Amino acid sequence: MSYQHTLALSARPLPPLSRVLVSLALTVAAWELRHRTRKHLSHLPTETLRDIGISEVAASIEAEKPFWRA
């Protein structure tokens, strides 16, 4: 397969079902990342929060958000 042929294949839009599945996978990945980072944020010591410029109250509010909320 030539390079031009490969580029032409990659330029085609995905079929509808594939687009839905890719979108779903990206959403789940974003949710998992939010869950993980909020969990870590809730365990950071006060000194670290101060170093990164986040108050304890703001960190607590962010950590308590459900994973599906941005």
pLDDT digits (tens, 9 = 90+) for 36-59: 999 999 999 999 999 999 999 999
The DSSP-derived string for 16-64 is HHHHHHHHHHHHHHHHHHHHHHHHHHHT--HHHHHHHT--HHHHHHHHH
C-alpha 68/C-alpha 17 separation (Å) is: 23
Is 55 inside a domain boundary?
Answer: yes
Is 38 inside a domain boundary?
Answer: yes
Q: How many residues does the chain have?
A: 70
Is 54 inside a domain boundary?
Answer: yes
Is 10 inside a domain boundary?
Answer: no
Provide Rg for the chain, Cα atoms.
Answer: 20
Report the number of distinct structural domains present in the chain. Answer: 1
Q: pLDDT exceeding 70 applies to what percent of the chain?
A: 86
Q: What is the pLDDT of residue 4?
A: 67
Is 51 inside a domain boundary?
Answer: yes
Is 1 inside a domain boundary?
Answer: no
